[in-house]
Amino acid sequence: MAKIWTAVKVEAGNHDWDFSEDGAGQITALNVTGSVKYSNGPEEMVRGERFDVWAIMNPAQKQKVQASYDLAKQAFNNHFLG
């Protein structure tokens, strides 16, 4: 008989953000990775899960994230390249 696992908790403070962009620097995906705890009753397990939040954002949200991303990328470049 197959075990049925249910997500019961997203572990706090362990999220990584991975931006993908096209050749023009526009974000095409924002993959968030984190640890999710699952349970089937007597047993538990933790798995790394990944979800593209860019796909569910509205245009106004995307514009704000893109502007912040551009600013952060520019600050990073300026820090190392002067």
pLDDT score of 59 more than 90: yes
Identify the three-state secondary structure at position 25: coil
Q: What is the dihedral of CA 64, 65, 67, 70, to 10 degrees?
A: 180
DSSP annotation of 11 reads: P
Q: By percentage, how much of the chain surpasses pLDDT 70?
A: 100
pLDDT for 55: 97
pLDDT for 14: 77
Stretch 24-30: mean pLDDT, rounded?
Answer: 97
Residue 45: which of 33, 54, 53, 37 has the closest Cα?
37
Residue 30, Cβ neighbours under 10 Å: how many?
Answer: 20
